[in-house]
Each structure stands twice: as C-alpha cells, then as structure tokens.
Homo-oligomer: A and B are copies of this chain.
Amino acid sequence: METRNHESGKSYKRVDAFEKVTGRAKYTDDLCDRNAYVAKILHSTIAHGYVKSIDTSEAEKIPGVVKVITCFDVPKNYFPTAGHPWSTEPAHQDVADRLLLTDHVRFYGDDVAAVVAEDEVAAAQAVRAIKVEYEELPFVLDVHKAMEDGAPQIHEKYQNNILAHTSIRNGNYEEASREPGLIKVEGWYHTPTVQHCHIENFICYAYMEQGRVVVVSSTQIPHICRRVVGQALNVPWGQVRIIKPYIGGGFGNKQDILYEPLCAYLTTQVGGRTVKLDVSREETFVSNRVRHSIDFHIISYVRPDGTYAARKFESFSDQGAYASHGHSIAAKGMGCFPQLYPCPNIEADTYTVFTNKSVSGAMRGYGIPQAMFAMESHTDDVAKALGVPPYEFRMNNVMPKGFTDGFSKNVNYYDTFRECMEKGRKDFDYDARREKYAHQTGNIRRGVGMSVFWYNTGVWPISLETSACRMVLNQDGSIQIQLGETEIGQGADTAFAQMAAEAVGIPFDMVHVVSSQDTDVTPFGTGAYASRQTYMAGFSIRQTGEMLKQKILETACELTRQMKENMDVIDGNIVRTTDGEVLMSVGELATEKLYSLTNNGHLTAESSYQIKNNAYSFGCTFVEVEVDIQACKAHVTDILNVHDCGRLINPALAEAQAHGGMSMAIGYALSETLLFDEKTGKPLNNNLLDYKLSTFMDHPDLKATFIENFEPTNPYGTKSLGEPPACSPAPAIRNAILQATGVALDELPMRPHVLFEEFKKAGLIQEGGEANV
C-alpha cells in the first residue's frame, strides 16, 4: 500500500542540519538575555531528614546576590512533574508530591534553597554560604529493604514505601505449574540506575510579561510544562507561557518538569526580571531524573516440547525519592510479559517503591529496556535449559501474527517478529557465526546472541493521545507548519515536513517547520515521548493538509472555473486531473488570493485529531561479542538492529535513530551505572569522568536495517522508532556473552566487576584472577 504522493519515504537531509552543524541553531542559553539574573539551587547533603533552620545571612551579604529563597519561603502547592497529559479525573492524575523547595529532604541532592544573583559567580558563592541545619532521619537505598516493615517512611501515605503495585492474572499459574514433566527455569535479573546524558543539560529562563510568566525551557513537553507551572504557582494556566527552542537532547529526562516551576517562581520574586536557571552536569545526574533500576524475578515452566505451560513475573522498580512518572514504567515493562511470548497461565506483579535516591523518571524505552533485559535473558536461559537453539525457541514462541492485545486493541498485523528475526539472521550471517563460536576455548572468545523486543507506540488508551497542526500558505506556494510535537534532536521536524508536503501536494522544500513551540500560538500537542510523535502527528498533519488542499482547490475553482473535483494539487501545482494539464502553480494561486480586490483571503488550516489507535513496533538485535576472560571485559564486535517501525518516513533518519538507541543500549549493557554511597546516600560518580558513558570508541560500526510493513492504522503507515532501538541490544549482548563463555549474567551493566565475580563462580578464572583457560 502506498500513499498518493511521495515526499515521505525519502532520505531528505534534515531541515535543521545546516544550523546544527554550523553551531548557528539557537538553544535556550543562546536566546537568554545576558543581563539575566542567574539562579542556583542549594541541594541537600543528606539523604533523608528535615531542614531545621537555614541561615542565609552570609549569602545575602555577597555582592551581586539579589534574593535568597528557602524552603520556608515557597508556597505549599504540591505539583506533579511527569510529562503526561492532564487528566480531569483526580484518580488518573499524576502524583503531586513536589514542592518548589522542600524542608523534608528525601534524597541527597533534594532542593532546599535557591539564590538569585546578578551573575553566576555570586550565585555559586551564595549557595555555598548558606548554612543549613538538618534533623537527619534514617534512609533506605535498596528497593527490597524499603519494602520491609520498619523501613524509613519516605512519603507519609504509602505503606512500605510502595507507590503502586499492579498485577496480571491469566489462567491459573499455580495449577498449570503443577503439570507433570515441566522444566522450571527461574532467574533474578537486575538493571542499574543510569542517566540520560543528553548533550545539553537542563536549562530554562523565566520572566514576566503583562502580568504573565514566560518560561523559555529546554523541554520536550511545552504544553504540559505550561500546566505544571500553573499548578506549581497556583495561577490560571493561561497566565503561563512556555517557549521551547531547539534542545540538545532529552531522552525522557526533559519529559519531566524539572526546574521550570522554580524558575518561574523566582522571577515573580524579583519583579519579573529574567532569571536563568542552568543546571550543571553534576546536578543533572542527581537532581534531574534517572532511569528506574528494576529487579526482576521470572519463573517459567516449560514443556520438553518447547511450549510454555505457566509463567510468573515479579518486578521491583526503584522509584527514588519522588513519584515522577512513577508506576507507569514498571507497569509498561510488565505489560509486555504476557504479550511477547503468550502463555495461557500467567501471574505477574510489579511494585514501584520509593527509596532515598535520585528520582526515576522517563527514559528512552520507558521500562522496556529493563524488561527486555530480564525477559530476553530469561528466554536464552529457558532455551539453554531445554537444549534448543535460542533463535528457534523464539521463532516458536513469540507473539503470532494476528495477536490482539485486549487492553490496547493493538494488532500484530504482519508476522513481524519472525520477519525481523529472519532478516537479521540472514543479514548478520547468524547461523554460521553461531556454529563457528559454538565451542570456544582460550582467553579471548567470541559469541553471538540475539534478543527481540516490542514497543507500544504512544500512550492510548492509558492516557490522551491527540495532535494538532496549523498550516499557513505563503505567496510562493510554500507553507509553514506548526505542531505541538517537538523537535528534540531526533529529526521530527524533517519527518513532519515530509508528511506535510505529501498531504498538501507540494515539494518537501516548500515546507517550513516552525520548530520552536510557543504555547501562546502553537496548536496544542503533548510533546515528545512514548515514540509517539511521527505516528500521532501524522493524523493531524494529514487531516490539516487535506483541509488546506481543499481550500486551495476551492480557490482554484474561483480562479480557473474548473470543477473542484476535477483538480488536484500535485508537486506544487494545480493540476486538472481529467487531462493532466497544469492550470497554475499554488504560488500563483496564493498570491492572487492574498491580494485579490474581489475575493481576498489568507489560506490557512488548523485542526486537532484525537488518536484512539495505537501500534506495536517490533524488532530484534543480533550481537557478536569478544570476551577477554582474564581482563573480565566484553566488547561488542558487531551489532545489527532490525526494526519493523512501519513505513519509513525518512530512511536515513530512521537509521540514525536506530544508531543512537543502539549506542545508548551498549552503554547500558556494559558500562553505565550511577552509584550511591551506602553510608550517606551520596551519588558517587555523577560526572562524565566517573560515569562510564558509552562512546563511539566503545562501538563497532552500528548497523540497522528495516522491515517496512505499512501500519494500517496510520495515515502514513508509520509507527514508533524513537525508543525501540534501545530496547534489545543489552540482552542480545548478554546472550552473546553466554554463548562465548557459557556464563549467564543476570546484572547490568556487565562491567568487569560483574564479570570477575561471575567468571570466578563459573570457574573461568581463579580466586586470584588468573584465567583457567
């Protein structure tokens, strides 16, 4: 199936390429007035306790300090931070547990006071000069300990610190597990706390204009930000205006409202003067958001014929100190358990639990990378226990074509898992490598592994899915498009431009995307998350494009006297379809219409579309690793992602998206983990020297390929791609190490410390460290 026009599906250069590679693109800091006041935050230096008193007198004496605001000064408006659309039903609203500043500090790095100064140096000096007296409380860092009776209570109303616990029950697990002859496979799988490490740290600035608060912010979610700032300041939401310039990545961290409310509040305290709040990398690690560390426990009862009889799933998600996106992540992770390998008897439980650590929020994959590590490591463990090749085991068990999820109503329209796996197997030359590495010896060993994943596009029906678009026709037949959906570095604007060109019938380079969102004028959209944008925006772009085209054709009818139904807009021209004659260009039409003395008008179109659909994206990763047993080091020597993300809007950008996710996942697999001191709760490596972010030095050439299946629910046949590439590499690497060494690792990152312990247990190396090879 093909759409009529052909501007989507081409590898156009990004619309923002030139600006970004030349450094000319304006980011938040570039736009901020240099006279702006600078704000800095005093973070707590204990993991749990109360602020008894704050002495700001020394800080206030520092020249250039304008205002010191403490947790005792701010209004007590609790607000939620998660980047979800608002729900008008209180039961479905995100947990409102944040204050602008707090006297009940719940993690090392919580926000206690803020300084506004004339410059950065004065602000930094003042933050250091503030003296805080704390009443310390016991704290808890481990999710399991946090659930014990008698553990420190982090938020009042949650018993055993459990923010939420949800379950799935299909069939009868207990009974089914007693079927004779079953093989039981059980595992615990641990995923670490990691951080997004987007290039641009969080930054925003705020000022007042005509009594309203304006916040310019590096956010993924401007319209949601407006609402949260309104809640935090307790002002009508129309009194808040959010502007989002280009941003240097987000990966979900900027799908939380971070410090926009505080910055907005601070400007109201200094007479509306511009206040800039620029967060350091060290703060970003600790006081923004991190990926949930989740512990999984999976038990599978499998028949000798390779079919599942009964399965049990438990997960324990470390929320950190505040609710943020909360249980959504753990729940999404659990949600794929009964779908990935359907089994009639399932018992699944997931818990999201507060600890006195940095707050967990959204991060690329939203629970699926964690879940996939557990589930797909477990799949290899099951295959191994059964003695069947893991590829074949998956082929026999994964979600079949036609599978429909009862809740989301998503349908597996193609036999996508198998298509992706087959393509990967062939392109990666998997069988030959698998055979070649089957019996490795020596210190340096290679192995191949694989993993599948699925990902749900967007958030319907859990939450609202809507997109809105406006198009403005220019005199030359080019258009501007405005969308609430945001360019955050992923290339969204380019995809939008291609879809808009196709919808209206004009060339790609005639579409100018208004990249910056401004809640005053940008049509309402919820922003960049859940890999929703290309899918969701497609609906309103197509609808709005059709509206604009109809207006163009009505005008063409006025001007040419040809029947509207006999004309179409093709490649920027009004074409009489009955004979293919070009009657005039859209530019000539627009110019005449704009300046007509008889029947003038400007042609624009705007509409919103509520999307009550959703789509699965699928894919898999094939990996080859080389393991240096003595060095306890695994290194990825080859990697291939295969994706079915529907029809590709821009193949080159799709490939780039996949590369980015794979890179992130390699770090997740092998090196990244944010560590906390057990004695104090203090983060130990919250900087890019000590936190081992994966870089291109750690990667082989990243390879990505696609199975294009036209997603029938979407006007452009597309579905999610932003997050999926990060979901399956880690378990594939783990499974490759398993082939190479026979060691089944159960913990990420698989750094030397972990390999050392496991290789020792497996007898691959001796207690002293020499390899037994």
Contact = CB atoms under 8 A, between A and B. Distances in A.
Interface in A594-627: 594-597, 599-602, 604, 606, 608, 610
Contacts of A479: 238
A722 interface: no
Contact of A237 (B211, B227, B472, B475): B475
B610 A600 contact: yes
Given A24-B272, A227-B475, A595-B464, A524 B610 contact: no
A88 to B, nearest CB: 5
Given A475-B227, A595-B87, A600-B464, A238 B512 contact: yes
Interface in A321-361: none
Contacts of A64: none
Contact of A474 (B88, B238, B477): B238
Contact of A468 (B476, B595, B602): B602
Which of A88, A470, A600 neighbours the largest number of chain B CB atoms within 10 Å of its CB? A600
Interface stretch (A13-21, A180-188, A660-668): A13-21
A86 interface: yes
Contact of A238 (B19, B211, B475): B475
Interface residues of A, number: 59
Contacts of A24: 209, 272
A236 interface: yes
A52 B347 CA distance: 92
Contact of A212 (B88, B512, B587, B591): B512
Interface string A711-724: 00000000000000
Interface string A553-586: 0000000000000000000000000000000000
Q: How many copies does the complex hold?
A: 2
Given A211-B18, A475-B227, A524-B594, A608 B599 contact: no
Contacts of A85: 595
A773 interface: no
A464 B591 CA distance: 13
Given A597-B464, A604-B606, A512 B520 contact: yes
Which among A85, A210, A470, A610 has the greatest number of chain B C-beta atoms within 10 A?
Answer: A210
Contact of A524 (B33, B482, B523, B602): B602
A307 interface: no
Interface in A24-68: 24, 30, 33-34
B236 A466 contact: no
Contacts of A209: 19, 24
Contacts of A253: none
Contacts of A601: 466, 608, 610
Given A87-B595, A227-B475, 7 more contacts: A86-B591, A236-B474, A238-B479, A480-B521, A523-B604, A524-B594, A599-B610
11 contacts: A18-B210, A19-B209, A236-B478, A236-B587, A238-B478, A461-B597, A464-B596, A464-B600, A472-B521, A523-B602, A602-B608
